A and B are shown apart, each in its own frame.
Chain A
Amino acid sequence: MKTSGWGRYPVIDSEVVRYNSDDSLFENIDGRNPVIPYGFGRSYGDSALSDTILKMRPAKRMLHFDPENGLLTCEAGVLLSEILETFLPRGWFLKVTPGTKYITIGGAIASDVHGKNHHQYGAFSEYVSEFSLMMPNGSIKACSRTKNKDLFYATCGGMGLTGIILKATISLQSVQSNTIVQQTIKTACLKEIFQAFEEYYNEPYSVAWIDCTATGSSLGRGLLNVGHFKEDHKFEYKAPGKLNMPLKLPGFLLNKWSIKLFNQLYYQKNLKSENRSETTVDSFFYPLDILKNWNRLYGEEGPLQYQFVLPKKTSFDGIKEVLNYLQKKNMYSSLGVLKLFGKENKNLLSFPMEGYTLALDFKVDDKIFQILDDLDKIISGLGGRIYLAKDARMSVEIFNTGYSKAKEFRSIRDQYGMNKIFNSLQSNRLNL
Chain B
Amino acid sequence: MNDRWLLILGANSDIAVGTAHQFASNNWNLMLASRNLSNLNKMASDIKIKHNVRVKTFEFDAAAFDNHKTFYQKLTYKPNGVVLAFGYLGDQETAQNDFEEAKKSLDVNYNGAVSILEIVADDFTERGEGFIAGISSVAGERGRQENYIYGSAKAGFTAYLSGLRQRLFKKNIHVLTIKPGFVKTKMTFGRDLPNILTASPEQVGKAIYKGVIKQKNVIYVYPVWRLIMLVIRLIPEPIFKRLDL
> Which chain A residues have a beta carbon within 8 Å of chain B's beta carbons?
18, 20-21, 58, 60-65, 75, 82, 86
Q: How far is the CA of A21 from the CA of B34 in the complex (A)?
A: 15
From A18, A21, A86, B49 is in contact (CB under 8 Å) with A86
Bound form: Cα–Cα A50–B189 in Å: 20
B186 pairs with A61, CB closer than 8 A: no
Chain B residues whose C-beta falls within 8 Å of the C-beta of A62 in the assembled complex? 45-46, 49-50
Tell me if B145 counts as interface (CB < 8 A to partner A): no
**Interface size grouping (class) on chain B:** 10 to 19
CB distance from B12 to the nearest CB of A (A): 9
- In the assembled complex, how far is the CB of residue B13 from the closest CB belonging to chain A, in whole angstroms? 13
Query: Binary interface profile of B, 16-44, with partner A (CB < 8 Å = 1, else 0)?
Result: 00000000000000000000100100110
9 new A-B contacts at CB < 8 Å, known A61-B42, A61-B45, A86-B49: A20-B186, A61-B43, A61-B46, A62-B50, A63-B42, A63-B45, A63-B46, A64-B45, A65-B49
Of the listed residues A20, A60, A63, the one surrounded by the most CB atoms of chain B closer than 10 A to its CB is A63
- Chain B 52-88 residues near chain A, CB threshold 8 A: none
The prevalent SS among residues of B at the interface is: helix
- Complex Cα distance, B45 from A21, in Å, reads 16
Q: What is B's interface to A at a CB cutoff of 8 Å?
A: 36, 39, 42-43, 45-46, 49-50, 186, 189
Q: Which residues of A contact B43 (CB under 8 A)?
A: 61
Chain A residues positioned under 8 Å from B42 (CB to CB): 61, 63, 75
Q: List chain B residues, Cβ under 8 A from A60.
A: 46
Cα A20 to Cα B46 in complex, Å, equals 16
Least distance between A245 CB and chain B CB atoms (Å): 19
The one of A18, A63, A82 that contacts B186, using a Cβ cutoff of 8 Å: A18
Give the chain B neighbours of A65 by CB distance below 8 A.
49
Report the minimum CB–CB distance from B47 to chain A (whole Å).
9
Distance in angstroms between the alpha carbons of A99 and B152 in the assembled complex: 52
Would you list 20 pairs from A and B whose C-beta atoms are within 8 A, ordered by A residue? A18-B186, A18-B189, A20-B186, A21-B39, A60-B46, A61-B42, A61-B43, A61-B45, A61-B46, A62-B45, A62-B46, A62-B49, A62-B50, A63-B46, A64-B45, A64-B49, A75-B42, A82-B50, A86-B49, A86-B50
Nearest neighbor of A55 in chain B, beta-carbon distance: B189
What 4 pairs between A and B have smallest CB-CB spacing?
A61-B46, A62-B49, A63-B45, A61-B42
Alpha-carbon separation in the docked complex, A61 to B45 (Å): 8
Nearest-CB distance from B15 to chain A (Å)? 14
Residues of A within 8 A of B186 (CB): 18, 20, 58
B-side contacts of A58, CB under 8 Å: 186
Chain A residues near B36 (CB-CB < 8 A): 21
Task: List the A residue with the shortest CB-CB distance to B42.
Answer: A61
Q: Which residues of B sit under 8 angstroms from A64, Cβ to Cβ?
A: 45, 49
CA distance A58 to B189 in the complex (A): 12
- B152 shortest CB reach to chain A, Å: 28
Closest to B39 in A: A21
A26 to chain B, nearest CB (A): 16
Closest beta carbon of chain A to B190's beta carbon, Å: 8
With both chains docked as a complex, state the minimum distance between the C-beta of B24 and any C-beta of chain A, in angstroms: 12
B residues less than 8 Å from A61 (CB atoms): 42-43, 45-46
Report the minimal beta-carbon distance from B14 to chain A, rounded to whole angstroms: 9
CB-nearest residue of chain A relative to B41? A63
Kindly state the separation between the CA atoms of A18 and B185 in the bound complex, as whole angstroms: 11
B40 to chain A, nearest CB (A): 11
User: Inside 8 A of B39's CB, which chain A residues have their CB?
Assistant: 21
Instruction: Give A92 Cβ to nearest chain B Cβ, in Å.
Output: 11
Closest CB-CB distance, B144 to chain A, in whole Å? 27
Q: A86: shortest Cβ distance to chain B, in Å? A: 5
A83 CB to closest chain B CB (Å) equals: 10
Q: Report the minimum CB–CB distance from B48 to chain A (whole Å).
A: 9
CB distance from A150 to the nearest CB of B (A): 28
